[in-house]
A and B are shown apart, each in its own frame.
Chain A
Amino acid sequence: MRKGIIQIILLHLSLILFSACTQRRNFFEDSDDPGLSRLTSRGYDIVTLYLNDSAYINLYEHHNLGGSSNSKVAIEKILTNSNKDTLSISWKIQYADETDPPVGFYNLSLLIPVPTTFNKSDFQNWEGKRLPYDVPLNVTLRLNRNNSSFNAPDTGTASIYFLKINPHENQNSTGTYLFSGLFEGSAGNNRITKGRFDFFVDKGSLNF
């Protein structure tokens, strides 16, 4: 009897574990742009873009305790010890049709010069703005193959449209931002078009 109960519990646990392992990533294909996910603002944690006309997507990360999820956006203020700091918005991206795990990936960063006093409130004020058109701040695109420090990254210019930078308080105690928008640019011989992102960003993870 006891053995039977233990077997049932083990069966349920393995089913839960199996369902967690087999969960597919958030990706909702846009029929107008094959390989790209739709432009959304729901915190699906996804970035997709065309890099030289091929579709790319953020990495799908497997966690040590089981389960997998789309890799998050990294937003960081880099201190430069000058009158301007740099806000870095970066993703790790892979070729969309590549096998999992991918053979290689790119580290894609959008670098924006900001005043040293730049804070969350300034960040939130960018909602609905296009850089560098509505806010005169030049955006630098940096593309680094495999995040390697041996190869010099390709750099160029970019533009970004912040559609949503909305506080979303019910996600956790420190609060989150719903962060979504569009971007495009070029770096060296690489051209990025139709970039679109949709993330939940923990306020507590921001260093400004």
Chain B
Amino acid sequence: MRIYIIILFAFFTAQAHSQHSLIIASGFSTDANRKYGSPVTFTHIPLSLQWLPTKFGSRVFPVIKIDYLLPLKKTTIDSAYTLNTAMSNEISIRKTYRPFIFNLNTGMRFMVYQRGKNFFYADALLTAICHQYIKVSYENYDTGNYEILNPDISVRKTSIGVGLGLAYRRLLSSRSSVLCMLNIQSPPFTSSKVDRYEVSYRFVAPIQFTIGYGFSYKKTK
């Protein structure tokens, strides 16, 4: 992790005098890593900030992305049981998932095709620090009498991941452009189990479709 940050810092310093671009993007994200049999697919609204230390028209250039994926709440039902004969032996309890995701990506963007003001790019060699916090909560129920079978728990972990992407860019002027991007990111390379306790979900592998606005600026010393 420390090496990753040092490389990132070195990369920033090396690019200190060139023309830079910033892209702000948002859209929709779904999960490519849903656990088999899981009743819910995690979806998000991604908020992405991309920094390209290059001018428009370069064929290969680095990209640094910060993605925050705002979770869309998902609910499902778990069963709880009791031996108390004065009560129903089984009840349904509403369970809510909120999977918070933060990714810091670095990688290379390759221009694969250009025609006039239209550019097509492929993002490759993207590596990321991925932080995921899958927050699980249950609605209020009688904990004195009922026990939830195989209750889920919240899991918070940080690890490394990798990603790929495609981007279409159309220049609006010499300094601004609009973009459509499709990205897929691996889940963090770590298990969602906590001390061997199995949960009903896996970490999210987000497939993001985003639309963004990019602008370039001249970096001065």
CB distance from A3 to the nearest CB of B (A): 34
Q: Report B111-163 residues with CB < 8 Å from chain A CB.
A: 143, 147-151
Interface membership of A159, Cβ < 8 A: yes
Which of the candidate stretches B51-59, B96-104, B169-177, B190-198 sits at the interface with the other chain? B190-198
Q: Are A39 and B148 neighbours in the complex by a CB distance under 8 Å?
A: yes
Q: Report A168-202 residues with CB < 8 Å from chain B CB.
A: 180, 182-184, 194, 196
Give the contacting residue for A182; candidates B81, B196, B197, B198; CB below 8 A: B81
With A40-B150, A163-B149 already in contact, the answer to whether A24 and B85 are too (CB < 8 A) is no
Q: Interface size on A (CB < 8 Å)?
A: 23
Interface of A is mostly: strand
CB distance from A181 to the nearest CB of B (A): 8
**Residue in B closest to A183 when the chains form the complex, CB atoms:** B83
**Residue in B closest to A193 when the chains form the complex, CB atoms:** B83
A residues whose Cβ falls under 8 Å from a Cβ of B: 24, 26, 28, 30, 32-33, 38-42, 130, 133, 159-161, 163, 180, 182-184, 194, 196
17 more CB-based (< 8 A) A-B contacts, given A24-B195, A39-B81, A133-B85? A30-B151, A32-B143, A38-B151, A38-B197, A39-B147, A39-B149, A39-B151, A41-B150, A130-B85, A159-B83, A161-B89, A182-B81, A182-B83, A182-B147, A183-B83, A184-B83, A196-B147
B residues whose Cβ falls under 8 Å from a Cβ of A: 81-83, 85, 89, 143, 147-151, 195-198
